[in-house]
Amino acid sequence: MDSSTVINLIVIILVIWFVYTRFGPTKGLRTLKEGEFRKEIENSPNKLLVDVREPGEFKGGFIPGARNIPLSQINGRLAEIPKDRDVLLYCRSGMRSKNAARILRKNGYTKLAHLQGGIGAWGGKLSK
């Protein structure tokens, strides 16, 4: 094998790894479709609904009962999220909520779920 082939293989492996870590499943995170997410909100007495979008996005409309803790601030606001509660996360599309779940998992949270497709998949009422 010549050096350009080796470099190409390394680049391909890195791209695959990057795509998998960004878009692959997050260990310990339940991914819920809109109907399942709605049932969790309605039926879980010990839930905390967290919108991880930025404040400007949150003001544009949010799921009733949600608390805004942006992904950019989550490390500094962990004390606001009890570890003994079911934490339901959502964002605009589902990517930031997955990233928030990774951060929470690293900090000892175990009861995590997020809305697949984010608020764009939400068919219910929004508060402003």
CATH number at residue 69: 3.40.250.10
Inside any domain, residue 8: no
Lowest mean pLDDT among 12-26, 27-41, 47-61: 12-26
Catalytic residue among 48, 52, 66, 91: 91
pTM: 0.80
Q: pLDDT tier at 62 (50, 70, 90 boundaries)?
A: very high
**How far apart, in whole angstroms, are the C-alpha atoms of residue 78 and residue 68?**
13
Confidence band for 90, pLDDT divided at 50, 70 and 90: very high
Predicted confidence at residue 22, as pLDDT, reads: 61
99 is a domain residue: yes
Asked whether residue 59 is domain-assigned, the answer is: yes
Residue 67 falls in the annotated catalytic set: no
Q: Is residue 106 situated within a structural domain?
A: yes
Tell whether 7 is covered by a domain: no
pLDDT score for 10: 84
Distance CA 4, CA 34 (A): 47
pLDDT class of 115 with cuts at 50, 70, 90: very high
Domain count, the chain: 1
Q: Give the structural domain span for 83.
A: 26-121
